A and B are shown apart, each in its own frame.
Chain A
């Protein structure tokens, strides 16, 4: 027994090292956010808070347009994902419950769309937005986030639908429900957890998206979303690291909350979605 405990020591040290390296940047962000200015500027870093100050949050919240960025981000991510959810729900139902010619090619298209090289499409997207006078506008970005999250939503919702026995729906229809009523009254309640986690993962994608927000919302500062603002904030000439870390902490908060809500599903749900294409 003792030999075994001894053998475990290096393993546990390695585990603690992985933990420390993984969490340190996040810890450092939160710690800096709560540090008074003199602690941030001191040449020997302080690893434990000596005193907690909310001054940095105060500065961050009072930067010009701060609430606009929040509203923009929430609007763009929220609307995009909601739209994707509705459209994906229809498509997933058709794929999981009906047979029709072209089903296999459709699924293949969804898989391909899921791996789309978005990062290489910024210039054509910029030109398309420009041709339609949609530059610096949130609807264009919303539409992009809708298509970005759509394939993933279809794939995961189809998985969730596959887990709901068809017999339940058939029983409802035998009892005289129309196909739509059967879906609404029987399938939908069972699908709700799936819809929730799918939309939350989509929300994270849209909430974090930087490249398109950066390319399409260049000219009007009040139209920016949080990621682009945060980036320009940290590239300024006089950099207030306390305020930036406070802003980053606030920006990360919704994502962290979502991860906590989804806990167990984080590994199962996301990996099956991502690895499965």
Chain B
């Protein structure tokens, strides 16, 4: 990973003060224009102001608006009149009383767990495989991974709808050929099978990033370590447990927490695959549920409460992710 060298930001709060060029050594006839004190203090703030304004208006304000919404009575009528009353915790009480919400929450966690475990196991195996492969084969695998990675999400959902078609889809054809009874099986008629397709899609799309990151981490380990371990008589399992895994652990933790966050909030794949004609009510996760409550049912206040809860869950995950990230940066600094 080349990352550590570039970004030692938060761990190193200040740069060493810039040395002034020794005045006697100046060869230019004009002395460098020195900005006055005020200009010098104000410049950095002027430079970051557009970025701060953009993030404040288009990211922090929506977050705040979302929280406000969750404490208001905001439905279709309020959308038209553009004024809403605050109702305290009413929306949250309604959400927590709703069995559907708990079902969706359970599904979201379960869905995230299945996806992340699949992604991490397969990616680790793929990364280890890449280390062992000859050059030609490695390039072949990399081409495949990059092809999957480069596919835009919506192109991928479209392709998967086509692959899993009931009548002339290639997956059903292959399953029938293999002896399974999948003749004309309608994947998108049931919740579980639709969710299976979504899972396959997300895993297929996520593996390239995870594999290549883990592989990049593995390549930083010098081969001497493995050589000497092998000479000492360590088997492959022992080598993985005692050398590879400890070295990989920080990067493994980072990729895992990133994937957890990404998959927990995934929306496009689920909505695009099951949104219009599919069994969306049996596959929806929290972000989809919130969107549905707002856009389809015009229960904007409920959507606000559900989104706020989703954001809070994500914040917990983010804290974990940032701790991992800073820990790794500190270690890289040592």
Q: Which residues of A contact B (CB under 8 A)?
A: 8, 11-12, 14-16, 18-23, 25-26, 28-29, 32, 40-45, 87-88, 90-91, 93-95, 98-100, 102-104, 106-113, 115-128, 130-131, 143-144, 146-147, 150-151, 154-155, 158-159, 162-163, 166, 170, 173-179, 204, 207-208, 210-211, 214-215, 226-227, 230-232, 234-235, 241, 244-245, 248, 251-252, 255-256, 259, 266-268, 270-272, 274-277
Contact = CB atoms under 8 A, between A and B. Distances in A.
Contacts, number: 317
A21 B190 CA distance: 25
The residue among B3, B165, B258, B266 with the most chain A CB atoms within 10 A of its own CB is: B3
Interface residues of B, number: 115
7 contacts: A15-B137, A100-B44, A121-B62, A162-B7, A210-B272, A251-B154, A256-B150
Interface of B: 1-3, 6-7, 9-10, 13-15, 18, 21, 26-33, 35, 41, 43-45, 47-48, 50-52, 54-55, 58-59, 61-63, 65-66, 69, 79, 82, 126, 129, 132-134, 137-138, 140-141, 143-163, 165, 167-168, 170, 173, 204, 207-209, 212-213, 216, 251, 254-255, 258, 261, 265-268, 271-272, 275-277, 286-287, 290-291, 294-295, 300, 303-304, 307, 310-311, 314, 318, 321-322, 325
A211 B291 CA distance: 10
Given A147-B54, A275-B254, A22 B208 contact: yes
Contact of B322 (A111, A235, A268): A111
Consensus secondary structure, chain A interface: helix
A104 B291 contact: no
Contacts of B151: 25-26, 252, 255
Contacts of A127: 65, 69, 79, 300
Contacts of B13: 103-104
Contacts of A144: 58
A180 B134 CA distance: 49
Contacts of B318: 112, 115
* Central interface residue in A126, A144, A226, A259, by most chain B CB within 10 Å: A126
A210 B154 contact: yes
Given A11-B129, A147-B59, A248-B159, 19 more contacts: A19-B144, A21-B144, A99-B14, A111-B322, A115-B321, A117-B310, A121-B59, A125-B62, A208-B152, A210-B154, A210-B271, A231-B275, A248-B158, A259-B149, A267-B216, A268-B216, A274-B209, A274-B213, A276-B3
Given A22-B204, A244-B162, A94 B1 contact: no
B230 to A, nearest CB: 14
Given A95-B48, A231-B157, A117 B265 contact: yes
B1 A272 contact: yes
Among B154, B213, B275, B294, chain A packs the most CB atoms within 10 A around the CB of B154
